[in-house]
Amino acid sequence: MGKKTLLVALITSCIYTVHGQNFNLRINEILTNNKTTMMDDFFEYDDWVEIYNPPGSPITNLANYFISDDPDSLTKWRIPAIDAGVTTVLPNNFIVLWVDDDFDNITSQGADHNAGFVLSSEGETFLLTAPDSVTVIDSVTYPEMARDVSWGRSCDGCPQWQYFNNVTFDDNNIEILNNDLVFINEVQPINTSTYDDLQNEFDPWFEIYNPNPFQVNLANYSISINGGTPWTVPSTRPARTVIPPNGFLLIWCDNDLTDDVNHSPLELPTQGANIQIVGPNGNTVMNSYSYPTTIADHSWGRVSDGSSSSMDFSAPTPTVTNQLFVIQPQNIVINELLTANQNGITDNVGELEDWIEVYNPNNFPVNLSGYYFSDDPEVRNKWVVSSSFPDSVTVPANGWLLFWADADVEQGVLHADFRLSNNGEYLSLASPDGYTLADEIQWNYIAPDTSLGRLTDGADEWVLFVVSTPEASNNEGVINVTENRSTSLLAYPNPTSSTIFFDQLTSLTAFDLSGKPIETFTNVRSIDASRWPAGVYILQSTDGSRMRVIKN
């Protein structure tokens, strides 16, 4: 090829690179729960998406293409045309985009760092749209993501998708199954009150320990009891089968296979048995463990995690070390939480994030250094409160402290490494032993900008607040049956155990918290609430005024 022809070809290629639309591009791999796999150039473990340019496709500059996590907003972020060296991908090659909300910050992190959103580990849709802003080149709806496990095509550009324990950042998608060492660590054949699952059932269980300095996904391992038919751990939900470094995983023996992937059809004989676990290759025995007859609510386990000697435990230690030293927590509670913050308060870097409020009812401050928060009932020690700045994590006497559940731990000691779900989830606060609970709460759907909190600070009853009270008393919060704070009604005493008096003649209707009318009154100066169940009620007068009353 002559020099002139080559120059024309290069110019043509460059024109296509800048202005063309490559419809062959494919979203190839996604990681939305990046804890240790790969840091960006600024030493941050952020979400990323890998785009693949198949063989035979042109050299393509992704400048002016769009990425989004919202099918109704395809142009959520335009890849900027400021560094072709970063945004250009060759045929049969990859480009990685960091979906980390770090573009255009004080020190811009580059054209491959997006502005405006991060990806949810709960699962959502990711889209790549052409520069015309309307043509979706590729999209993928990915499932729930586990720590350091990616979701990718089975091979580069293939239509099938799967989880990858061996994340293939900026490389070919190839699955590698490792036979990593694990130990059966503790067994409880008769569980009547020790530890319940998410369905609040006390079922038999055994615990598996990961002694390695890296996480192990138990998916595709096979487990059998007394040489019986083996059960293979499913690979469909690594969020439940990944064991963190030096961590633990429970296998429930309840035959409730629809509960979760760590619920097995295996049966634990009460008179003792042998449990064997085989690696993903189907041949290598990774561990074999025998337990004797064990009495109810005791367990049989290794004296120390992974050791050769065993003993009876009168206080079983599911999900934590067998050498647990119990530390009782201070009298503190989770007081309020917000799971979808769209228009509320912002954190210390100006971001709208989920938050958790802790209340201290004591007449002395409580330092939460070393306490644990978790959104997983089977991993109570998921995130530990740092002891680096104890003043920052101390709850004042009779006061409140706010933690941000935003997975942005680099933003300070008050930022947890997980987010909350408004579609229903669990939250716990445990003592520094990582197991003994200070408090826990479970919820179903919560609307955006609505918080879930205790009716009054530290009380047993939980309600929804349409106006939240972060780092302030819940006692003046506006509950989900909206109050009119400028009400002309004056009722006393409030709270009451029987009669409610008014300062004027009034007609009104009493509603419960669900909005259901309880009773209607006409031209009264008092009402008898003694027959109402204890709880919170809204009184609405005929002029539309509303107020909250508490019936003891």
Token pair listed for 257? 């296979």
- More confident: 485 or 224: 224
pLDDT at 547: 76
Task: State which fold the 333-479 domain adopts.
Answer: Immunoglobulin-like (2.60.40)
427 contacts 373 by C-beta, under 8 angstroms: yes
Confidence label for 256 from pLDDT (cuts 50, 70 and 90): very high
Confidence label for 301 from pLDDT (cuts 50, 70 and 90): very high
In the predicted structure, residue 16 carries a pLDDT above the cut 60: no
Strand 26-31 to strand 48-53: parallel, antiparallel, or no bridges (unpaired)?
antiparallel
Contacts of 445-451 with C-beta under 8 Å, sequence gap 24+, read 446/339, 446/340, 446/422, 447/340, 447/422, 448/340, 448/341, 448/342, 448/422, 449/338, 449/340, 449/341, 449/342, 449/343, 449/344, 450/338, 450/340, 450/480, 451/336, 451/337, 451/338, 451/477
Average pLDDT over residues 298-320: 96
- More confident: 109 or 205: 205
pLDDT at 476: 63
Token pair listed for 151? 């979701």
Best CA proximity match to 223, nearest among 137, 272, 289 = 289
**How many percent of the chain have pLDDT more than 70?**
92
pLDDT at 240: 93
Confidence label for 482 from pLDDT (cuts 50, 70 and 90): very low
300 contacts 291 by C-beta, under 8 angstroms: yes
Reported CATH class of domain 3-164: mainly beta
Q: What is the pLDDT of residues 212-234, one digit of tens each?
A: 999 999 999 999 999 999 999 99
Region 183-313: CATH code: 2.60.40
